[in-house]
Amino acid sequence: MRPLFAAAGGVALAIALAGCGTGGISKGAADQEHGKKLFLGKGQCAGCHTLAAAGSTGTIGPNLDDAFAQARADGYKESAIRNIVHEQIKYPGQYEVAQNNPSFLSANMPANLVRGQDAEDVAAFVAANAGVQGFAESQLISGTNGKLIFQKKCAGCHTLKDAGTTGTVGPNLDQLMPAFPIVQKQVTNGGVKMPAFKAVLTKAQIDAVAKYVAARAGK
């Protein structure tokens, strides 16, 4: 099982490029219920991705609710999200830059796990639901305990011994010593391999998790 998206942070660039003649724009009617069944089964998506609407909690790939929450907040249309999901199913990592660039997005999923109308249906299901549940989920995160926030929102992507997490999508934080302002900015705005959390966490929660990481990373 491989993640649907090479990197969650590519979502912003992908949405910007969606519909610009890339040759795989999603069109026509789609069956979201069928898409959900494929997401949970044949498409092998649920084993790698968290998506509240599907009841999936995979942590190999990005949390799709978090990945698309900011796009929702920024007013991107569902059709734009659908297009990019469809494109990523066909061509994983197509929006990556040169491998010698530090911002390189490595595609670690096979292309065309689902094809044709099946791909249309999965794209429609994800586009209709990713990020929507993310807003509701954010309301369930109470308090400003940085360690607990990290364990809930960051564990799937990062290794940090103090938090007991072993994610491998993003950098191993035990090998880094980032300063608070850097972590705060990264959590707020995201990066190439990381979604922005400003639509998912409050400023106080972002500050709390940034302080926690700055204090415990590299120790």
Q: Which of 135, 166, 193 is the last residue of a domain?
A: 135
Q: C-alpha distances in angstroms, 56 versus 63, 130, 176? A: 10, 12, 30
Name the domain count of the chain.
2
Asked if residue 55 and residue 23 are part of one domain, the reply reads: yes
Per-residue pLDDT of the chain (219 residues; tens, 9 = 90+): 445 544 444 555 455 444 443 344 555 678 999 999 999 998 789 988 889 899 998 877 778 888 888 777 777 888 988 998 898 888 876 544 434 443 334 446 778 889 999 999 999 999 999 988 555 455 457 789 999 999 888 887 889 999 998 887 789 999 999 999 999 999 998 877 688 888 778 999 999 999 999 999 998
pLDDT digits (tens, 9 = 90+) for 113-127: 899 999 999 999 999
Q: Is residue 30 part of a domain?
A: yes
User: Which residues in 57-88 are b (16+ Cβ under 10 Å) and which e?
Assistant: ebbbbbbbbbbbbbbbeeebebebbbbbbbbb
pTM of the model: 0.60
CA–CA dist 176, 179 (Å, integer): 10
Statement to judge: residues 27 and 88 lie in one domain: yes
Mark whether 110 and 210 lie in a shared domain: no
